[in-house]
Structure 1
């Protein structure tokens, strides 16, 4: 009996140690607000007996800063749009994903299951990310300050709205939307002349004394606090949903020039400590209750349903830009109100 008791105790200790070892696993997520809610984290931790650490970002520039700092070693899984993904691939930060390890991807709408047709997701025949959510970036306006709804993004430059504009504080998208307004051949691949014209136009927008935001909650707070007239909605209908709860007198348009649109995807870092666990997180977010909760809470579209944009809307899906670093350097100077001298060009 003593032998059996000791053996049983030993087995119990081994089982406890095994459980402790597994429970000590940590999944490190780098993502956007609304993509990893507290109740989702609690459910995932409970189901997988792990701990989840979440770090939120509010701009593509911040995302790049955190992932490039230590070559992605501080995180296991991250969310990025398709236009940004290629530089994480090029810098050996993202690793290929086997879609067979994400079984819930079978529940996605056909356009998102056909990953080989989505620009930016693949490289050298390998899949590097799984679509999660998407939105166009339109223009939010205060109906009380407009006799009729604006039709063009050029409304941001109208002098009567000086000091009443809310603008996203990010380099890449601001260059692309301004280039789109200027009818650039490709708003993501600017020639030197187009870049110069875009910088000049952005300086004119800076002279409008816009109020800058990074996150969606901050944008809503600033819109209400400053009785704003217009806002470039970088987060699209996520901001519309949040703002309508406080001010039902706001409208939302897709400008006649078109609206940039992003497709955010989950990717896994090369240095992920537990790649299968990272894949399980991606699979978890594609469960029906999680993806539908994203839409219900944030107003964002999920990839389990087909695109719900109007057929007449001109939507331009984001693509990689000609030079991320140059745009970022220019934007820092524009943000400060001075970009007359071109920054040193980076490759």
Structure 2
């Protein structure tokens, strides 16, 4: 099957393993990433300097992306390069040039990830019979601007017959929020972000800390983790928590900054550092107040690190409670503290979770070859 996969750099860490699996199954896959000044440093895209010219380039013209040739073939990966990062004649020209690039190919499937620009949503109409659109978030997160997203999604629903959502929890939200016919909604899921195996110190041993990582945002519930750690510290005074990620906190962190068992790393986390943080952690905590799915969960699982997460969105679909992690109620620091202390005080249970993650990566929900088969079934509908 000849497939065009059009995505954004922020999804690179979950795209690349999927694309690799499709290529290994013998499919002809071409890939386009739309690159702007605002997406140079996100997930696996960590580009120091953007090519100062609009156009479509081979991804390997960026040395940071050429490095992935050891992971998967990069000959068919392209960059739709938009150095201005704003609406104007150059961005219009690039969108039309990208449209012509797609139109000249005889693709069986055109798979677009998340919301296109208003103009490109019009151009995609010409490919409507071949089109599949992935929606990562059935509704935008708290604090995220959703006006453009709502406008584009209502336009897409008029001609898209295959929407792909990555957990079943989001189906009703998406259906009711945008008036989408439920017959046009399909489901798959993410797999473990196995690219992280490429990074960091592969022999690093576990250390006495637990980890939160990811973009700092109001819905992440970090304040509940910090409150929980006040409780945990009374029983496990030697255990630290590391909060790693860039962003502005929506609450006052000053009372926690002087505590020697709480460490804030407020910056973009390079992949080598991230891999080492995950490898060294006893487990990861996702104290979210809302969620769709989370790349944090499967990044942790990729390096055999269990996760404690809240019962929101699709997280219970990603984590098998008691098998690969622990699920707790949201906005409840006492329950979160008890789950943390349960794992800190039970090394056999923690070891069992780790072993179950390894099995799932090979043949369970973490396997990208299984997920690629699910995508191909949707393409054939």
**Greater relative contact order (Cα < 8 A, sep 6+):** 1
Which TM-score band applies after superposition, normalised by the shorter structure?
A: 0.3 to 0.5
TM-score, length of structure 2 as denominator length: 0.34
The structure that has the greater radius of gyration is: 1
